[in-house]
Structure formats: C-alpha cells, structure tokens
Amino acid sequence: MTAYQELRKKTEARDHSLRERVMSLEEAAGLVKEGDLIGLGGSTMSRTPLAMIWALIRAGAKGHTIARGISCQEGDLTFASGLCNHVITSWMSHGLNWGVSKIMRNYTEQKRAVFEEWSHMAMGLRFRAGAMGLPFLPMRAMMGSDLMGRLPNVKTMECPFTGEKLVAVPALNPDIAFIHVQRCDAYGNAQMDGLPFLDADLAMAANRVVMTTERIISNDQIRRAPDHTRIPFFTVDAVVEVPFGCAPHECYGVYEPFFSHHDYYADLLKKDAEKGVAEYLQRFYYEPKDWNDYLGRLGMAELQDAARRGRSINND
Amino acid sequence: MTAYQELRKKTEARDHSLRERVMSLEEAAGLVKEGDLIGLGGSTMSRTPLAMIWALIRAGAKGHTIARGISCQEGDLTFASGLCNHVITSWMSHGLNWGVSKIMRNYTEQKRAVFEEWSHMAMGLRFRAGAMGLPFLPMRAMMGSDLMGRLPNVKTMECPFTGEKLVAVPALNPDIAFIHVQRCDAYGNAQMDGLPFLDADLAMAANRVVMTTERIISNDQIRRAPDHTRIPFFTVDAVVEVPFGCAPHECYGVYEPFFSHHDYYADLLKKDAEKGVAEYLQRFYYEPKDWNDYLGRLGMAELQDAARRGRSINND
Amino acid sequence: MTERRNYTAAEVLAVMSSRLLKDGQIVFAGVGLPLLAAILAQRTHAPTLTILFEGGTIGAFVEPGQLPPSTNEQRCCRRANMLLPSTDVLLLLQRGYVDIGFMGGAQIDKHGNLNSSFIGDAENPTARLPGTGGGNDIASLTNMIVAMKHEKRRFVEKVDFVTSPGFLDGGRSREKAGLDLGGLFRVVTDLAILGFDEKSRDMKVVALHPGVTAKEIQDNTGFELIIERNVETTPPPTEDELKVLRHLDPDRLYIA
Amino acid sequence: MTERRNYTAAEVLAVMSSRLLKDGQIVFAGVGLPLLAAILAQRTHAPTLTILFEGGTIGAFVEPGQLPPSTNEQRCCRRANMLLPSTDVLLLLQRGYVDIGFMGGAQIDKHGNLNSSFIGDAENPTARLPGTGGGNDIASLTNMIVAMKHEKRRFVEKVDFVTSPGFLDGGRSREKAGLDLGGLFRVVTDLAILGFDEKSRDMKVVALHPGVTAKEIQDNTGFELIIERNVETTPPPTEDELKVLRHLDPDRLYIA
C-alpha cells in the first residue's frame, strides 16, 4: 500500500457524520497513541493548545515527536516532562524578552532531544501539502543554506515546465493535532479570530484532531456566519471546552500573554534551568487537581489583567 | 530572463503604496492592453464582474484570451462581441435551466473561438500556483482522461519522494484580473461575503487587478475586521464602485440572479442565437449611455425582486 | 414503463439514488437531480449526511422550492456550516474527506467513462458540450454514483471522449493510469441500478426497478449488459419518499 | 562612541535603518528593532509604507508602548488591513509583493550570510540558537536589510552555519545555488551602513555614522572590510526622529 493509499484509508475509516464530539480534556488525551506524531496549532505565544499539552503531560505520555510552525515556552515543558524528544519546527525558544531557552539548549546540545529545523514557510507548506492530499509541494527558499544538508527528507527538483531548480518539501500528516480556538460547535466546526497561523492546513492534514475551545457555541451560531468557519467538523475528532485554554499564552481577543507569569517562569529557570522547570512542572502540571486549580495557581489578578488586555484589541 | 524573473520584475514595478486607487469603469477599461490574458472572478452566475466586461466590450476591445474557473452566459457575450476568441475554463454554457449555449457551440464548433478545457481543480491550482510564485503545482486528477491529450501545457511527473505519477499544471498569471466584491476600501482592500471561489488566488496571481465593488467603504471599516479581508490592497490597481455590478448575475447577500431576464435572454436566442445575441448586445451593451441606463433597461421591478431575494439569504 | 404508476421516471431516479447514500456520509453533489436525491436522503434515512457543493459549500440547507441554478449561487449556501474557495472544496476529494461523489451524466460507456465534452470527433465535433467542471476531479478522486436517464444514445459501447474517467478500458487500466483510488460505484437510471464486474469492469445490472424486464433494459442500452438470471428488483418508491421529493421540488423542475 | 551624544547606540541603529526604507514600500519586518525602525519610517518620511509580519499581518498599527513579544500576538494585529495564515504571508515574498525584508542578526559573515542556528560545529555545537523562523525565507526570496550590533564576535569571516543565505561564497554563488532574486542589500549597525561589492560580494562600508572612524569599525569587525577613502558620513539622528522613537518605546525595551 502506498503512503497515499494509507492516508486515504485512515481518512475513510473516520466517522464523518454530523455528530457531537464533546469530551473532557482527559478523555481527549486518551486519543493520543504511543509513538504518535503530534501537530500543534497556534504560533509562538498565541493560541498555543496548552490545556491539551497539560493533560497529556499529566497522563504521563512520553517520547513523542511534535511539529509546530514556531515553538515557544511550551517546548521547554514538552522536553522536560519527556512528552517530546524530537521537535520539527522553524524556531524554538521562549521569546525575545526572555533570552534563549536554556532547556532547549541543554536538551539539544546534550542530544537528549532532536531539533529538526525547517524554514517557517517550509513548515507551512509541509502541512499544506498534507492538507491537499499531495505527497510534496515545491518552493523557492532554503536553497544554498546549510539547513538543506541537515534535513533527512528534503530534495531539490527541476520544474517540469521551466527546468528551474526548486526545493520539494514532503507532506506532513500528523497522527494527531491539537488546536485551540475562540469558538467551536459541538460537531467541531471552528471559527477563530485574529491570525489563523497554520491551523486550517494542520487540521486538514492531520489524521485526528482535538479541538479545544474557549466556548462551545451552537451549530446555529456557526451557520449564521458560515464564511467565518475556518475548520470543518469532519476533520475533528474531539471538542473540549476549556476557558483560558492557552494560559499563560495568548488567545486573540480573549486574553493576552500573562507577561508577569512569563517573567516568573524565566526567573525560576535562571539559576538552574532543569531544576527550575522541574519545580514549575510540579507546581503547575502535576499538583493541580484540575484545570481550574491550574488557572487558580496562575492567579486571579494575572488572569483578569490578561483578559482586560485581551479584549482591548477591539477598542478604537 | 526567466519567466519567474519577469513576473517578479513586473510585480516590483507596480505601485505598492497605501494610496487611493478609485476610478471610473471607463478609466479602468483603459488599463487593459492589447493581447492581455484576462482572468475573471466569481463562478457561473455568481459575482461575475459584468460591469467591467460591459465597459470593455463598449470600449471595442477584441481578441483577448479569458480565463475563469467556470464560465456562464457572459461567455456568450465575450464571444459574440469579439472581446474573446479563446477561453480557458472548466465549463462553459448558460446554466442547467437554459440548456447548452448555442453561442458557445457555434463559435467553438466553427473554430471561431478556442475552448481550452481543464478540470475545475486544475483551473484553481493554476491560479494558486501563480499566486504562490511557483511555476507549477502537482495534482492527482485528469490522469487517464482525454482532457490531458488536448491541453497544450500539462505534464505528468513523478513525485520526487514517492515516485508516484502526478499531473503538473502550470501557473497561470493573468495580465489583468477583474473581480467584483460586496465591499472594498479606496486602497483596494476587499472583503467578500459568501463563496470566495478562486478570487483570492486570482488577485494574487494577476499582474494587474481591477476591483469593482457594490460600495466603497472606509479603510477604518476594513481595519475593524481585518480577518475578513480576502484580498490585500497591494494586489489591486483600480477600485471602481459599481452598484449592481454583476447584474443580471448574482452578488451574494445583495441580489440573486435576475431569473426572468435570463429567461428573456434564452428566448431571444432560441430561434437564431447569433441574431439574438447581437440584438441583446445592441440593446444592453452598445446603446445605454451609462451603467445606470443599462440597469434601467434590465428593469426596476427585476432589480427590486433580485435584491429582495438577495438579502433574504440571512433570514432565519 | 411508469405510466400506470403514481410516480414519474425522474422520481424513480431520485428515490433510487437517494437510497444508495448512507447516514453519516459526506456527499459531493452536482446540481439538479443529484442535489435533490441527497436532500431526500438527508430528510429520510440519513439525517447526519453532509452535502458538499463544488462552489465551496459544506453542509447547507437548500430551501424547498428554491433550488439553485448551479452549485455556485447563494441558494447553495443557506445556513451552511462552512464556505470554502472552490479549489479547497475540490481538494477535499483529493485529501479523502469525501465518501461519495454524486453527479448526472450526458453519455456513459460500458466501463463507466463519462463524456460531457464532445459528441463526435473532438477535432471536428458534431456538438461541443459544456465541459467537465469538477466532474473529472470527482471521478478521478473518489467513489462515485452517477444518476442519468436510461437511453440507448446515452449508454454507448465507448464514449466519444473520456471527460471523467470511469474504469477506462476496463480491468486494471484505471489503476495503471495513475488513479489509485475511487471509481464509479453505481449508475442509477430510471430503469435499474447498475454496477461493474469486479474483474472486467464491464457494466452489470445490480437491480431492476419495479416492472422493468431484462429485455427492456438491454433494448435501451447501446452495449451488452451483464444481467444475472435472478437479478433483484428494487422496492418501489414509498409514499413518504415521494411526498418529501415533491415538497422539495414543488415546481417539478427536476422530477417532471 | 555615542557617550557624549544625546542618543544611544540602539537609537542610532533604529534611526539609520528607518532612513533606508522608502515611502510606499512593503516591508517585511522582524520583531524588536526592525519593527521599531519601520514604524519610525512610517511616522516620519514614509507615511504610505506598509509593514508585514511573519505571523500573518498586513499593515497593522502597533500602539506606542505596547510592543509585541513576537510577530504572532495580537499586538501585531491592531487595526491591520488584513490577517493571513503565516504560510500565505511568507508566500508574498515568493510571489514578489515584498520590497524589503528587514530583520535582526546574531552572526553575519563577509558575504552577508546569517547564522541563527549553531555556534560551533552543528553536530556538536557550543550553543544551539533558536533557529531560522522565517529568516531563511526572507533572505532567500527578497531584498533584505539586516540591523545588528557591530561586534567583532558577530562579524566573522565565515559563519559557523548558513541559516539565512546572503551571497554564500561571494561572486555569483547565490544565483548558482538557485536563488535568482533578492539578496542582502544593506547591513545597518550602530557604527555604519554597509553594503556589498557588486562583483566579489564582499562587505563594504557605505557610510560611517557620525564620529565613527575607519579604524574603529575595522577593529570591531572579524574580517577585512572594504572602506573607501572618502566614505560618506550619515547625518546624525534628528530631534524629531528621536522623539518619535522614544514615544514608541517608552520603556526603552529596544532602544536602551
């Protein structure tokens, strides 16, 4: 069976019916199988599907490969918890204001984890090829750079019409994708505000999708603005309502990043990064009895402040 | 100079500044140069840029090649007026309710015009390749059919990773594109409701774009909902406000097709198609003193009825 | 054949094709009769079936009596779940999210190839037809049902031009052409439901509609059909099916 | 060097790079200093300039004092003209709608190649850096300006790893690698504006900032620069430029 036939077979076997797919974070974490390649939605500190990462780390999942356009501080947590030992991305650190991630450095320099580096456009086109049911897409970047030589599966090719040299990047069809949006119905029809990032392609490319959402809205609400739907229900396998599901990252129009929490995190890792991140995981990932307990530990004042800043985006 | 370098050079030479681009239909028709390959937005009977076709036919333009995803009754008029002698499309007729177009048949069977037939997805991917700055895109349809053998510029290729057989379709970068939307600002930022068809790719692929719009809105209005903008200003060279700019075709949410006018048109062509279409062109294209005169000839009752049906789409 | 009955040939066609659609499926439907049959299925045995249109619509509710002139107008969009660029809705076929493509046909041959481009020689045709639209994409990329009137001039040994590929020259020729997946699953007519022999990919009768004989169908077909001796008969349209259908198309645009 | 003046090195850098941007251009800007300089240009000599961000933003108004932590957060989106998927905003580079790419740099070499991946040997690096992001795409596909601090350890003969291609090995090696278009146009530092020799593609000084000597810049560079005898001097930052800049970054996040 060819890779394409296998992809089609998996897609055919999924339930395409217009049915409710609502479940808990814990149930959704149970959809992840050993060895799954996980795709993450959002970018850097925006619409990061942190609640699902949180649930998966708590469930004790280990050794996954994770693909994301641009990674951020969640990368530290996936490395340090053992959830991930191989990241496919274009960039990984915490963010301009907090310096280069020590955890990223330690894990990759000591070869405890692989950091497979593609250009951002290449990442986007790999998901897009996957979304289109194609084995590859051509592009014009990455040529001449040293990125090419370190990648296991990239090729140069000639254009069949012009003979030009192009780069072919292979489709990336994650086994499962986690995506967080502002609103989604019980069937999985998702609408998002602000930057769409790579999420629509990621959802279409993946073989399973868990959609976490700030709130579940009715299918009637979706149908009132069908041209704002970005991801259709039949690509979605689980819908989980998780208010503040990206905290302490951002969800456009709902909350900005919890900046002082990021300062706190960076401080905690300053002296001994590995000890700091272990302490952080203990306090925020393993100890909380549930997601609301986690949010409570982030702090009500932080949460209110982030929400005030978040909703201010539409102020004139 | 390669085709890519030429495309880049043309794009570089365009004015990318955030400036007003508003002009009249007649001025916009003046942007079309002899021999230009013209891309048309919309599909079948929806968001057809009829006002620009009308202006161009009146300006006496002849012998152009026209590309559109799916063509409709406007095809009759472009053939019969001499505006077009080569159509690149996936389908061309009037519509299910009005039978096969006699004008399409006469012109193509008598070799007065070329009907270059691609699959609809191939048309979409040709514009998309053009929009992406790629020389081609791969796809999995058209293989085995007789379409392949009749097309001048399509190839089969092997996937550089899997060795699978694929079809490569070449980029289509029209010299100029006509697109009609519900609203657009003076700079050219366009927002549309309903089905987006191939328009965003077409705008991005083309070397010049004329955007006709039901109404020009302020840039502030655009900036209040930037995630609804579908076409950015820097792809646009002219903005023309033309209420009922698709009549007697449809503009989603504003007016439905003028069905009884289409019946009238079909009747007019029933006995002698060429005589009928000539009469139609005379009455609706050459005689009117301006666009409002044209609309008046369509009839106020028709216009009100189409608008009533159009805005009813959002009724519960 | 249906003169003595309380339903038309087009109604038989609509009812019989609607029954082939299963609950929960994603159906890529053409305008006209396929659309009507898909809505009928949705309103009878398949409430969680979703209809896609080539224009770019996912899961709309078409209003009874307001059938669209093509799949690109707003009548196809009412209360849809999502509206996509046409290219992207066609790419759903390639990605594999579509269970069934469902369209009409002008001319079909023994191996299920469809012609909507040329009658006669393509270089000097007797008639130029409107062309493929998305038909080629649907036929190339997914499992397909075709609904059409059963007439000798439409059912020919070999189509003049393969616009939308069925099983090409039969056998494994479709796979050999690079079309790994999909293919014509059923042809529904006003006389019968037809399929294809697993090996030769020749057209065969799966079931005859009530009152149709083997001779009648063979007489209306331009090539030799495989008809087994004890071929099944489809149950006639029910009152309920006919009622829903007539409610959907009160002007009898497609069911006359 | 700027001790006696009423502006910082970072302010010189921001002002001098902003002056390279022309009115009406489309500028693809990185976060931090490039963003700041692009807004400065917009608010001084280039009112119809449009800023793109890698996250997917076209033409936003970033609020003074609310500078974004990356180009992916809502602070980059305020009152934008359009928000696109990141892939599509990067494809604007490939299609040719971007006039200038404008980013910071960690390490650069004589031919303008940039490294943001590895210090030392890539297999056993002294330090793993955060990686390319969209840097490689920008550097491959458009004309680019890089703004960075002028330090000997950052200006090296040959970068440890070519993350984002400049002129590769100089001469026509960039074109030979398949990169037909674009290339590093200017490097702006707190000491000078630099360019590249048309033929050899070796870095050369285009203009020195006020008070900077040829010796000072060579001492701060890890390879031999081309410095013409009568090299120009840039006019110092104006009061107006500094005022706008400080209004934009009141917390002095990037201009300290």
Chain C contact partners (≥3 CB pairs within 8 A): A, B
Contact list in D for residue A165 (CB cut-off 8 A) is 178
Model confidence band, residue A58 (pLDDT cutoffs 50, 70, 90): very high
The reported pLDDT for the residue numbered B316 is 67
Other CB atoms within a 10 A radius of the CB of residue B278 amount to 15
In this structure, is residue D133 part of a structural domain?
yes
Rounded to 5°, the CA angle A169-D111-A96 comes to 65
D181 vs B204: CB contact, 8 Å cut-off?
Answer: no
C131 vs B96: CB contact, 8 Å cut-off?
Answer: no
In this structure, is residue C254 part of a structural domain?
no
Other CB atoms within a 10 A radius of the CB of residue D67 amount to 22
- Which among B4, B223, B234 has the least Cβ separation from residue D26? B234
D180 vs B5: CB contact, 8 Å cut-off?
Answer: yes
Does C83 contact chain A (CB < 8 Å)? yes
Measured between CA atoms, the residue of chain D closest to residue B19 is D48
**CA of B313 vs chain C CAs: smallest distance (Å):** 6
Does A165 contact chain B (CB < 8 Å)? no
Average pLDDT over residues D203-220: 97
Model confidence band, residue D2 (pLDDT cutoffs 50, 70, 90): very low
d(CA A244, CA C66): 43
Q: Is the pLDDT of residue B81 over 80?
A: yes
> What residues of C are labeled active site?
54
In this structure, is residue D254 part of a structural domain?
no
**A181-209, pLDDT tens digit by residue?**
999 999 999 999 999 999 999 999 999 99
Mutation to test the C interface, candidates A5, A7, A8, most C Cβ within 10 Å: A8
D136 vs A310: CB contact, 8 Å cut-off?
Answer: no
**A111-129, pLDDT tens digit by residue?**
999 999 999 999 999 999 9
Model confidence band, residue D30 (pLDDT cutoffs 50, 70, 90): very high
Domain total of chain D: 1
Model confidence band, residue C1 (pLDDT cutoffs 50, 70, 90): very low
C181 vs A8: CB contact, 8 Å cut-off?
Answer: yes
d(CA B34, CA B63): 8
Model confidence band, residue D180 (pLDDT cutoffs 50, 70, 90): confident
The reported pLDDT for the residue numbered C180 is 87
Choice among B126-130, D62-66, D157-161 with the minimum mean pLDDT: D62-66
Model confidence band, residue D1 (pLDDT cutoffs 50, 70, 90): very low
d(CA B77, CA B265): 11
pTM, two decimals, is: 0.98
d(CA A87, CA A113): 8
Model confidence band, residue A97 (pLDDT cutoffs 50, 70, 90): confident
Q: Average pLDDT of chain A? A: 97
In this structure, is residue C133 part of a structural domain?
yes
**A219-250, pLDDT tens digit by residue?**
999 999 999 999 999 999 999 999 999 999 99
**B260-302, pLDDT tens digit by residue?**
999 999 999 999 999 999 999 999 999 999 999 999 999 999 9
User: DSSP for A225-262?
Assistant: SGGGEEE-GGG-SEEEE-TTTTTTSBBTTTB---HHHH
In this structure, is residue D213 part of a structural domain?
yes
**C218-253, pLDDT tens digit by residue?**
999 999 999 999 999 999 999 999 999 999 999 998
d(CA A10, CA D139): 39
A135 vs B193: CB contact, 8 Å cut-off?
Answer: no
Q: Is the pLDDT of residue B76 over 80?
A: yes
Contact list in C for residue B70 (CB cut-off 8 A) is 70, 72, 133
Contact present, D13 and D33 (Cβ < 8 Å):
yes
Count contacts between B and D (CB, < 8 Å).
77
Domain boundaries, given as residue ranges, for chain B: 20-135+171-315
Other CB atoms within a 10 A radius of the CB of residue A272 amount to 12
In this structure, is residue C256 part of a structural domain?
no
Which residues, other chains included, contact A15 with Cβ-Cβ below 8 Å and sequence gap of 6+?
C24
Count contacts between A and B (CB, < 8 Å).
69
D117 vs A195: CB contact, 8 Å cut-off?
Answer: no
| CATH number belonging to the domain at A20-135+171-315, selected among 2.40.10.340, 3.40.1080.10, 3.40.50.1110, 3.40.50.2000 | 3.40.1080.10
- Which among D73, D130, D133 has the least Cβ separation from residue A120? D133
Average pLDDT over residues B172-188: 98
Which structural domain, as residue segments, surrounds residue D58? 9-248
Does chain D touch chain C (at least 3 C-beta pairs within 8 Å)?
A: no
The reported pLDDT for the residue numbered C4 is 62
Does A136 contact chain B (CB < 8 Å)? yes
By DSSP bridging, strand A64-67 and strand A37-40 are: parallel
Does B12 contact chain A (CB < 8 Å)? no
The reported pLDDT for the residue numbered D4 is 61
Does B299 contact chain A (CB < 8 Å)? no
**B228-261, pLDDT tens digit by residue?**
999 999 999 999 999 999 999 999 999 999 999 9
User: DSSP for C1-50?
Assistant: --TTSSS-HHHHHHHHHHHHS-TT-EEEE-TTHHHHHHHHHHHTT-TT-E
**D114 Rama sector, left if φ>0, alpha if ψ -120 to 50, beta otherwise:** beta
Average pLDDT over residues A126-140: 98
**CA of A231 vs chain C CAs: smallest distance (Å):** 8
The reported pLDDT for the residue numbered D117 is 98
Q: Is the pLDDT of residue D3 over 90?
A: no
Measured between CA atoms, the residue of chain B closest to residue D93 is B133
Average pLDDT over residues C90-111: 97
In this structure, is residue D1 part of a structural domain?
no
Chain A contact partners (≥3 CB pairs within 8 A): B, C, D
**C106-133, pLDDT tens digit by residue?**
999 999 999 999 999 999 999 999 999 9
The reported pLDDT for the residue numbered C2 is 44
Does C164 contact chain B (CB < 8 Å)? yes
> What residues of D are labeled active site?
54
Mutation to test the B interface, candidates D95, D99, D140, D141, most B Cβ within 10 Å: D95
What CATH number has the domain bearing residue C116? 3.40.1080.10
d(CA C11, CA C33): 9
Half-sphere exposure of D169 (CA within 13 A, CB side): 5
